[in-house]
């Protein structure tokens, strides 16, 4: 695979079979692409070199929950937000809606 | 959560069957990746100190999943230029992660996920690092004063993330 010059944790591979993209966050790996055979081989290669745990379809990565269906994906940080509330003992606090203007640039005075 | 207590010392952990077993498991994991060799400390070299860390892993239902013992090096006992130099290691940018998800959705590609077990134990060390023998697992007799000459990185070393990513990068490419 080739390492991306714009993000060194991203690797890609293009061939006549299709393409494969890999992104790494220390020991957490996400793989996608059109070359399903190649993806299987890559996973096998990784598990031969290291011991891996195949988590199947992507569900949770860096605090983002991912739900995949044939219509698309839904991402949310519900669990992450709940964990933060739990840690700060704010789980029982009352929620309040806070409106924020879009595209506001905050500058130091 | 209060029903289980984290051991305060190796002695306490080793006298506890569950914790004892997790420490033995961790030693087996370490030995299978062959991270060190027992040697006499060469003159002019310093020794990195290590310790055991104990954690209780909870399942999604909040029940105790398993006990885990991890041998970690005390990175702050390392000396720059002697047993470590470069430590930077890249991690994925959030923008890349979002781009990744977007492309996968647009192209209708499936997203796969996997994690690497004991990732940091796979890193190849470029520096010469000597570490004391793991507390509670010091070899008997003459070799008791020997130190572990590390060939592979272990958790806690300053260069471990870099050593791991270097190895991963090589294997992937």
The ipTM value here is: 0.83
> Which tens digit of pLDDT belongs to each residue from A92-108?
999 899 888 888 888 88
Under the phi-then-psi rule, with left for phi > 0, alpha for psi from -120 to 50, and beta for the rest, what region is B156? left
The answer to whether the Cβ–Cβ distance between A46 and B116 falls below 8 Å is yes
Q: Which of B92, B109, B114 sits opposite A55 (nearest CB)?
A: B114
* Higher local confidence (pLDDT), B36 or B1: B36
Tell me A10's DSSP state.
E
CB-based contact (8 Å) between A57 and chain B? yes
CA of residue B53 relative to chain centroid, distance: 11
pLDDT at B2: 46
Question: Across the interface, which of A11, A36, A52 has its CB nearest the CB of B172?
Answer: A11
Does pLDDT of B52 surpass 80? yes
Which of A8, A12, A60, A87 is most worth mutating to test chain B (most B CB atoms within 10 A of its CB)? A8
Q: Give per-residue pLDDT as tens, A20-79.
A: 999 999 999 999 999 999 999 999 999 999 989 999 899 999 989 999 888 889 999 998
Residue of A nearest to B104 (CA): A32
User: Is B57 an interface residue toward A (CB < 8 Å)?
Assistant: no
Tokens in use for B143?
């070799």
Q: Which residues from chain A sit within 8 angstroms of residue B110, using beta carbons? A: 32, 36, 57, 68
Say if A50 is an interface residue toward chain B (CB within 8 Å).
Answer: yes
Name the percent of chain B lying above pLDDT 70: 98
Which residues of chain B are within 8 Å of residue A80 when distances are taken between CB atoms?
none
**pLDDT tens-digit map of A2-37:** 999 999 999 999 999 999 999 999 999 999 999 999
pLDDT tens profile B141-164: 878 889 999 999 999 999 999 999
A101 interface with B at CB cutoff 8 Å: no
Q: Nearest CA to CA, how far is B44 from chain A (Å)? A: 33
Through-space distance between the first and last CA atoms of chain B, rounded to whole angstroms: 44
Q: What is the DSSP string of chain B?
A: -TTS---SSHHHHHTSHHHHHHHHHHHHHHHHT--EEEEPPPTT--EE-EEEEEEEEE-TTSSEEEEEEEEEE-GGG--BTTTB---------HHHHHHHHHHHHHHT---EEEEETTGGGGPEEEEEEEEPPPTT-PPPGGGGG-EEEEEE--TT-TTHHHHHHHHHHHHH-
Pick B97's closest partner by Cβ from A33, A50, A61.
A61
Q: What is the pLDDT of residues B83-119, one digit of tens each?
A: 899 999 999 999 999 999 999 999 999 999 999 988 9
Cβ-contact B36, B43 below 8 angstroms: no
How close A96 gets to chain B, by Cα (Å)?
27
Please report the pLDDT score of residue B1 as a whole number. 45
């Amino acid at each position: 695979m080739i390492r991306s010059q714009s993000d060194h944790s991203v690797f890609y591979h293009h061939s006549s079979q299709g393409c494969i993209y890999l992104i790494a966050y220390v020991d957490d790996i996400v793989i996608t692409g059109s070359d399903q055979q190649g993806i299987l081989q890559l996973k096998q290669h990784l598990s031969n070199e290291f011991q891996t745990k195949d988590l199947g379809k992507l569900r949770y990565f860096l605090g983002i929950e991912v739900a995949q269906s044939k219509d698309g994906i839904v991402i949310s940080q519900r669990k992450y937000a709940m964990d933060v509330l739990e840690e700060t003992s704010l789980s029982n606090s009352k929620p309040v809606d806070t409106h924020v203007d879009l595209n506001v640039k905050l500058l130091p005075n | 959560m209060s029903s289980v207590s984290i051991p305060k010392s190796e002695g306490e952990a080793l006298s506890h069957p569950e914790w004892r077993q997790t420490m033995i498991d961790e030693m087996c994991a370490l030995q299978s990746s062959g991270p060190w060799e027992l040697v006499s400390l060469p003159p002019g070299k310093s020794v990195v100190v290590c310790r055991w860390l104990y954690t209780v892993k909870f399942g999604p239902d909040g029940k105790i999943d398993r006990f885990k013992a991890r041998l970690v090096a005390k990175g702050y006992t390392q000396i720059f230029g002697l047993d470590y130099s470069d430590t930077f290691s890249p991690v994925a940018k959030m923008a890349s992660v979002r781009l990744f998800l977007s492309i996968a959705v647009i192209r209708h590609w499936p997203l796969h996920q996997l994690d690497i077990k004991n990732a940091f134990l796979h890193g190849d060390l470029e520096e010469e690092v000597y570490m004391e023998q793991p507390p509670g697992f010091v070899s008997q007799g003459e070799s008791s004063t020997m130190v572990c000459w590390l060939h592979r990185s272990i958790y806690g070393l300053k260069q471990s993330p870099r050593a791991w990513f270097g190895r991963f990068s090589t294997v992937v490419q």
